Amino acid sequence: MTALPSIAPAEPMPTYPPTLETNGAASDRDEEPALPDEARTRAAAAATAETVPLENAGSDRVLHVRFGGAPADELVRAMKTFRQLIRERPGETRVIVHIPAPGGTPLPMELTQTVAYDIELPAEVTRRLGEGVVDLRLV
């Protein structure tokens, strides 16, 4: 039997070529790209908009939930995710879901499950479903 020659392991290779940073400034590759005009306009409007204090709701308040702004299959997924979220947060606030209908007028449906509405609920909905899929209104 002949012995195979030993091969040294490969040396790691950097992803980016080394750059010289001048005066402690970060290199260009670490900067994020600029926002598109539409996103920049929304971000600027949200940053300068007045904020309304959000109090905890009770049994005398009703949360209206409207779905829209997405394809039908994504809306079904959003509704299922929202249903799971409501189950995870039992509370006193009644919930009315406005179901999109073919005629254009949404159909209101009150859920038997109530929810604990606080400042975390809208944030959690946005985290799980994204922007523009669900509109929450506390009345």
118 within domain boundaries: yes
Does residue 22 lie in a domain region?
no
Q: Structure tokens of 49?
A: 């908009």
Q: How far, in Å, CA of 46 to CA of 42, rounded? A: 6
Number of folded domains that form the chain: 1
Which domain, by its residues, includes 129? Answer: 72-133
In a domain, 79, yes or no: yes
- Residue 112, in any domain of the structure: yes
Q: For residue range 27-65, list pLDDT tens digits in order.
A: 555 566 777 888 788 878 877 776 555 555 666 889 999
* Sequence-ordered list of residues with C-beta below 8 angstroms from that of 135, at least 6 positions apart, any chain: 65, 66, 67, 68
> What pLDDT is attached to residue 20?
54
Q: Is the model's pTM score more than 0.95?
A: no
Q: Establish if 98 belongs to a structural domain.
A: yes
Structure tokens at 9: 């392991």
Q: Which residues make beta-bridge pairs with 115? A: 90
Strands 90-99 and 62-67 come out as: parallel
